[in-house]
Amino acid sequence: MLALENVTKIYRTGALGLRRLTAVSEVSFEIGEREIVALIGESGSGKSTIGKMILRLLRPTSGTIRFEGQDIFALNGRAVKDYYRKVQGVFQDPFASYNPIFKADRIFALIREEFFPHLSRAQWEQKVEEALRAVGLNPPDVLGKYPHQLSGGQLQRFLIARALLLDIRLLVADEIISMLDASTRVDVLNLLGDLRERGLSILFITHDLSLGHYISDRAIVLYRGRIVEMGPTERVYARPLHPYTEMLMASVPRIDQKWARQPARMEQSVTPGPTGCVYYGRCPIAQEICSRRMPELVEVEAGHYVACFMRS
């Protein structure tokens, strides 16, 4: 359905834009029908930049993003509107997605004006009610309310319902539950699972390992804009191959064993050359070749890829 091919995004920084910051580097992966893919990494790893490029909010510096075989940045005119009928995004802060002086359901009115001007009022109200009930909201409880009168979980469900109004096929969910309380998080995660069963594909962007494990079919681990490991979620979590993935998994406290105290591994003063591995400075098993070359993603077992000279 969606395919990224060697996608790179470089930002120009500094007063005159003379400095260059590579946020995403040669990223390639696919999302299939009815699949939830977790994009996992720490802050600054490039997760949100990838999501924004898929939503056409940012243009890649190089590489191609294809949806149903078509380059999304080659679209223009009506084709762009058709793309947004199929691909939508929901972001981290639900309150930032609403204008506080308007009632929350104004976002539905904007959708109607842009995409469904031909529908009668009765038809539209029925469509809105079906979308709200699909995300577990009772229309009389939420329609006509201002954003401050609704909880964060209700507002996130509102945004997902907005996407469902368009009969979308792919949802980019960027840290959508990081600002919600624990009980609400489970409800939203279960909602995403239900939507997948109805045919929706989801790119689930998160820095939380437990959430990625709970909801996804495949996991992609990013470090400094590069994919270091990807594969079926159970396999990546049960048998991580890249030293960075291993470190992430070892950092999660477990209730079945005592958490051993280990000295923190700080960034080494030695840095790789411009073509070296991005994890070289922190890697406990790095060799000299790692300072000179960036390893390619290699399939070490069915569907399980790792970018590491020592593990491939």
Residues 209 and 120 in one domain: yes
pLDDT of residue 210: 85
pLDDT of residue 212: 87
Q: Is residue 125 part of a domain?
A: yes
Question: 304 is in which domain, residue-wise?
Answer: 239-253+262-312
pLDDT of residue 170: 94
pLDDT of residue 256: 61
pLDDT of residue 167: 79
Say how many domains are in the chain. Answer: 2
The answer to whether residues 242 and 297 touch, using CB atoms and an 8 Å cutoff, is no
Residues 215 and 306 in one domain: no
pLDDT of residue 164: 82
Q: Is residue 244 part of a domain?
A: yes
Bridge partners (DSSP) of residue 8 are 62
pLDDT of residue 272: 55
Question: In whole angstroms, what is the distance from residue 169 CA to residue 200 CA?
Answer: 5
Residues 101 and 49 in one domain: yes
Residues 282 and 214 in one domain: no
Residues 133 and 52 in one domain: yes
**Sign (positive/negative) of CA torsion 203, 207, 213, 215?**
negative
The answer to whether residues 209 and 39 touch, using CB atoms and an 8 Å cutoff, is no
pLDDT averaged per 10 residues in sequence order, the chain, 312 residues: 95 81 94 94 91 95 95 92 90 82 87 88 90 86 89 84 86 83 76 85 90 91 95 94 90 64 50 76 88 91 92 80
pLDDT of residue 266: 45
Residues 147 and 296 in one domain: no
- Cα angle, residue 169 at apex, residues 163 and 170 outer, rounded to 5°: 75
Q: Is residue 230 part of a domain?
A: no
Residue type, position 183, single letter: S
